[in-house]
Chains A and B, each alone.
Chain A
Amino acid sequence: MEPVFLTFIFVLTIFLGFELISKVPSTLHTPLMSGSNAISGITLIGSLTSLRTDNMTLAIILGTLAVTFATINVVGGYAVTNRMLAMFKKKDDGGAK
C-alpha cells in the first residue's frame, strides 16, 4: 500500500504547486526559479540518511558527495534568492542600499 500513499501525496502536491506558482508575477520569476531550485536541494535530507556508520567505502564516498552537492544547492540557492529579493524595492520604501 505504501507506494499508493506516496503517489497520492505526490499527485495532490502537484496540484497544490500549480495553484501556488501560477500566482507568482513574472517580475519574480527569477527568484522563484532560484528559490524553488533551493527547495529541490531537499534531496539533502535523503543524502544525510544514506550516510550510516555501517557503510562501505563506496557508499561513504557517494553519500558524502551527495551531501556536498545538495548543500551547495540548498545554501547557495537560498542565499542568492535572498540577495536578489533584497533588491526588489519600491521607491517610497526609502531603503537605501
Chain B
Amino acid sequence: MNITTLLINFAYIVSAGLFIFGLKMLSHPSTARRGNMLSALGMLLAIVVTLFYSGLDYKWIVVGVVIGTVIGLVAAYKVQMTSMPEMVALFNGFGGIASLLLAWSEYHQHPELSVFIALVTVLTAFVGGITFSGSMVAFGKLAEIMPSKAIVFSGQHIVNGAILLAALVSGVLFAVNPETSYAIFMVIVVVALLFGVTSVIPIGGADMPVVISLLNSYSGLAACAAGFVISNNILIVAGALVGASGIILTNIMCKAMNRSLANVLFSGFGSVVQATGSGEQQGEVRPATAEDVYYILEAADSVAIVPGYGLAVAQAQHVTRELGELLEANDTEVSYAIHPVAGRMPGHMNVLLAEANVSYDQLVEMDDINPRMDTIDVCIVIGANDVVNPAALNDESSPIYGMPIIETHQAKTVIVLKRSMNPGFAGIQNALFFNPNTRMYFGDAKASIQALVAEFKSD
C-alpha cells in the first residue's frame, strides 16, 4: 500500500465519522439540518480524496458527475413536498442501479474472481437490481403512473419462489467458475430486475411506507456488498448504516400496522374485498355544515388535528395550518396527532405540516396523544380513515384488528372531513363515522377547511 492509498483510506475514516455524527444529529429537529450538512461534507471529502487514486479516467468522471449533479439538483429543488415519497423512491432506485453497474463493470474488467468476491459480486448485482426495479415500480405506484392498488395474480408466490431459486442456483454456478460465466451473470441481472417488479406489484398503496423503507435498506445493503467487491471500507460502513436505518424504519412501520413483514410483502392486503366488518356497523351518520363545525370549534378549548393521506392528496396542509392559527388566536390549544403510517412514507405528514410552517413541537406522536385523548374537546380527522378506526381495538373479526390507532373516538367530539362514505384502503367500514359524538363534514378537504377559515374570518 503506497502513501497516497494510505492517506486516502485515513480520509475515509474521517468521512465515516462525519456520517455517524450526521446521523446522530438527526435525533433532534434543531440539530438535524447541521447533521445533514456534516453528512454531505463527509461524502464530499470521500469523493475528493478518491480522485487522487492514480490511473482514473477523469474525462468520463466529469461527464458523469456533471450530468448527475444537474439532474439531482433540478429534481431536488423542483419536487413538491407532497411528491416526496416518489422522489425518495426514484433516488433510491438510482443508488441501486449504480451498485449493479459497479459490480458489472468490476466483473467485466477482472473476470478472474475468488469465490468470495464472486459471491459478493453476484449479491451486489442482485440486490442492486431488485432495488432499482422495485423502486421504479414503487415510484410508478406513488406517482399514479400505474395503479396503486395491489396487483395479484394466481401463483404469484410460486413465481417469486422460482425466481429466487433460479437466482440462488445461478449465483452458486457463477461463483464456482466466474471467469467463463458471463452469461450467468447477465441472467442474474435480468432475474434481479424481474424479481424487483414481481415483489413490489402485489403491495398496495397504503403499505408503501413499509416498501419504501425496505427498498431504502436494500440500496444501503447493495452499496455495502459493493464495498466487499472492491474491498473498500467506506462503502461497507456507509452502506451498513443505511441498511440498518432502513431495517429499523421497516420494523417501526410494520409494528404500526400490527403486521409482520412477510404479511405486508406476500398477502396483497387490500386487494381482496373484505366481507367482514362492513354492513353490520351501520347507524346514523350525522352530517355537518361549515357553520356547524365552526360553532363546535369556536367553543372548543383543545383541538387535535389528525391528518392522513387525504391531506396530501388535497394539498390541504397550508389551509390546515391557517385554521390551526385561527383556532390558537381564539385561545384554543391546537396539536397535530400523527400516526406512524399516515401517508405514503414514514414521516410524510410531518414534512407536509413543516412545509406549511407548523411548529414541530405541535406535532404529537400517537403514543403521546392517546392517553390524554379524553381531555381533548374536538378531533378533526382530515383524510385519515383506517388509522382512526376503532374496529382495530374492539372488533376481532376486523382485518385491521390489533393495529394501534389514534383513539379519536375517545375525544368529546370528532369531526371527520371526508369526500364521501367510501371505505378506506383496507376496504372496511369505519365505526367511528357512526359514533354518536362524530359529525361528518363532507367535501374536498381543502375546500372544506377554506370554508371553515372563511367562517372564522367573517366573525
Contact = CB atoms under 8 A, between A and B. Distances in A.
Q: Do A and B come from one complex?
A: yes
Nearest to A76: B72
B170 interface: no
A20 B20 contact: yes
A15 B236 CA distance: 13
Interface in B38-54: 39-40, 43, 46-47, 50-51, 53
A14 B240 contact: yes
Contact of A87 (B46, B212, B243, B355): B355
A90 B359 contact: yes
B55 A44 contact: no
Contact of B24 (A20, A49, A87): A20
Contact of A18 (B55, B76, B248): B248
A43 B223 CA distance: 5
B101 A77 contact: no
Interface string A30-46: 11111111111111111
Interface residues of B, number: 109
Interface stretch (B26-34, B262-270, B396-404, B445-453): B26-34
Contact of B56 (A22, A51, A83): A51
Contact of A29 (B77, B92, B350): B350
Contacts of B109: 50, 52, 55-56, 59
Interface string A47-69: 11111111110111011111111
Contacts of A63: 57, 60, 64, 101-102, 105
A92 B139 CA distance: 37
Contact of A45 (B46, B71, B340): B46
A37 B242 contact: yes
A91 B359 contact: yes
B357 A13 contact: no
A40 B116 CA distance: 23
Contact of B347 (A23, A33, A56, A76): A33
A48 B51 contact: yes
Q: Is the interface of B mostly helix, strand, loop or mixed?
A: helix
B105 A62 contact: yes
Contacts of B350: 26-30
B77 A83 contact: yes
Interface stretch (B80-88, B173-181, B382-390): B80-88
B65 interface: yes
Interface stretch (B213-221, B291-299, B435-443): B213-221
Nearest to B109: A59
A69 B245 contact: no
A54 to B, nearest CB: 7
B71 to A, nearest CB: 5
Interface stretch (B152-160, B225-233, B281-289, B405-413): B225-233
Contacts of A27: 29, 338, 347, 350, 360, 363, 365
Nearest to B85: A30
Contacts of B73: 75-76, 79
Contact of A62 (B87, B101, B224): B101
Contacts of B72: 71-77, 79
A69 B242 contact: no
A80 to B, nearest CB: 4
Contact of A17 (B91, B244, B365): B244
B61 A48 contact: yes
A33 B138 CA distance: 15
Contacts of A55: 57, 109
B241 interface: yes
Given A6-B228, A10-B224, A21-B248, A16 B241 contact: yes
Contacts of A3: 116, 228
B310 interface: no
A10 B240 contact: yes
B19 interface: yes
A38 B346 CA distance: 16
Given A38-B43, A72-B71, A86-B33, A56 B26 contact: no
B212 to A, nearest CB: 7
B95 A85 contact: no
Nearest to B351: A30
B78 to A, nearest CB: 10
Given A6-B236, A77-B91, A52 B55 contact: yes
B351 to A, nearest CB: 5
B68 A67 contact: yes
A39 B241 contact: yes
Contact of A26 (B33, B35, B347): B347
Contact of B239 (A25, A34, A42, A71): A42
11 contacts: A6-B231, A6-B236, A21-B244, A29-B350, A33-B346, A48-B53, A56-B108, A71-B72, A76-B87, A77-B76, A80-B87
Given A29-B350, A75-B68, A80-B76, 8 more contacts: A3-B116, A14-B240, A16-B244, A35-B22, A52-B56, A62-B101, A88-B29, A90-B360
Interface of A: 2-3, 6, 9-10, 13-18, 20-56, 58-60, 62-91
